[in-house]
């Protein structure tokens, strides 16, 4: 297995770093590790938070049951990493997300196109014809960080973030794309908007997307956006 490092985060968390490369194999290992801990939590375990190349494990030191909680947790995690199965590409759940890329919903589409020497239609076609992998959720509840975006439409974040980005806004930041589940401040380049609810705390599964899922963006017109939004509100 690739080089894996462990480091403390304060006195109640440990960060496992699974190399430096962002890819599906690393993400699979991280998600498998989280799954094994969730199924069989060790004494004091609180939460496991995945990111692109790391898994952060939070724990309650007083509940670990030894005088050296960090060393105890580290040893436990090392054994679990050693026992992980080798990577095999698995069939993921594919979620289609409708997106309106038209004027009024795509505040930065012109900029993304000009930055990359493309037309607006080029950007839309490239963005919507890619199957994206959900690496992790972060920034806000239900906000998916998606991998696999074509570098032809990669665009830096805005130099001046907006105080309000609308709920459902689809954005680009560098080589990443994602969707804002709520209205919030943000600096991503907005190229469209979806009427789909990405996060609902009143349901048994609050987040529409989970790490390991795959996402496909489906272009829709304003009329379709309005109809879907009305259905969500009914």
Q: In this structure, are 110 and 55 located in the same domain? A: no
pLDDT in tens, 162-176: 999 999 999 999 999
- DSSP state letter for 66: S
Residue 234 banded pLDDT, cuts 50, 70, 90: very low
Q: Which residue has the tokens 């048994």?
A: 204
Alpha helices per DSSP H over 4-108: 24-39, 61-64, 69-82
Q: SS3 for 115? A: helix
pLDDT at 233: 60
Q: In this structure, are 76 and 151 located in the same domain? A: no
Q: In this structure, are 25 and 117 located in the same domain? A: no
Q: What is the mean pLDDT of residues 124-152?
A: 93
Q: In this structure, are 106 and 221 located in the same domain? A: yes
Q: Given CA atoms 38, 44, 47, 49 in this order, what sign does their dihedral have?
A: negative
Reading the block at residue 37, the tokens are 């801990």
pLDDT in tens, 209-233: 999 999 999 999 999 999 998 887 6
> From CA 14, how far away is CA 23, in angstroms rounded?
22
- CATH code: domain of residue 103: 2.40.100.10
Does 87 reside within a domain?
no
Does 205 reside within a domain?
yes
- CATH code: domain of residue 58: 3.30.1360.40
Q: In this structure, are 74 and 133 located in the same domain? A: no
Q: Give 176's contacts (C-beta < 8 A, 6+ positions apart).
A: 145, 146, 147, 149
Q: In this structure, are 140 and 44 located in the same domain? A: no
Q: In this structure, are 151 and 219 located in the same domain? A: yes
Which residue, 27, 52, 82, sits at the end of a domain? Answer: 82
Q: In this structure, are 126 and 201 located in the same domain? A: yes
Q: What is the mean pLDDT of residues 192-202?
A: 94
Is the confidence at residue 1, as pLDDT, over 70? Answer: no
Q: Is the pTM of this model over 0.75?
A: yes
Taking all residues of the chain, what is their mean pLDDT, rounded to a whole number? Answer: 92
> From CA 28, how far away is CA 16, in angstroms rounded?
14
Which residue, 54, 82, 110, sits at the end of a domain? Answer: 82
Q: Give percent of the chain above pLDDT 70.
A: 96
Q: What is the mean pLDDT of residues 186-205?
A: 93
Domains: count for the chain? 2
pLDDT at 25: 87
Q: SS3 for 124? A: helix
Is the confidence at residue 106, as pLDDT, over 70? Answer: yes
Does 23 reside within a domain?
yes
pLDDT at 232: 75
Is the confidence at residue 109, as pLDDT, over 90? Answer: yes
pLDDT at 230: 85
Q: In this structure, are 176 and 199 located in the same domain? A: yes
pLDDT in tens, 64-89: 999 999 999 999 999 999 888 665 56
Is the confidence at residue 188, as pLDDT, over 50? Answer: yes
Q: In this structure, are 213 and 103 located in the same domain? A: yes
Q: In this structure, are 102 and 69 located in the same domain? A: no
Q: Which domain holds residue 184?
A: 94-233
pLDDT in tens, 17-54: 998 888 888 998 999 999 999 999 999 999 999 999 99
pLDDT at 197: 93
Does 63 reside within a domain?
yes
pLDDT at 137: 92
Q: In this structure, are 156 and 193 located in the same domain? A: yes
């Amino acid at each position: 297995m690739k080089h894996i490092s462990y480091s403390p985060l304060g006195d109640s968390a440990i960060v496992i770093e699974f190399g430096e490369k962002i890819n599906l194999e690393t993400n699979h290992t991280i998600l498998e590790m989280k799954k094994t801990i969730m199924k069989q939590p060790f004494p004091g375990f609180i939460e496991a938070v995945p990111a692109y190349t790391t898994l952060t494990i939070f724990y309650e030191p007083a509940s670990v049951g030894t005088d050296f909680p960090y060393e105890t947790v580290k040893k436990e995690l090392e054994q679990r990493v050693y026992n992980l199965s080798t990577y095999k590409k698995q069939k993921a759940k594919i979620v289609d997300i409708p997106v309106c890329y038209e004027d009024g919903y795509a505040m930065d589409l012109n900029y993304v196109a000009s930055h990359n020497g493309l037309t607006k239609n080029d950007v839309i076609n490239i963005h919507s014809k890619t199957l994206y992998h959900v690496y992790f959720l972060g920034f806000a509840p239900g906000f998916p960080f998606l991998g696999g975006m074509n570098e032809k439409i990669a665009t830096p974040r805005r130099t001046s973030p907006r105080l309000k980005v609308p709920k459902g806004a689809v954005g680009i930041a560098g080589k990443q794309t994602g969707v804002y589940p709520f209205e919030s401040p943000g600096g991503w380049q907005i190229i469209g908007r979806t009427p789909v609810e990405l996060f609902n705390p009143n349901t048994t599964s609050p987040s529409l997307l989970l790490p390991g899922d795959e996402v496909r963006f489906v272009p829709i017109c304003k009329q379709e956006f309005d109809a879907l939004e009305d259905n969500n509100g009914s």
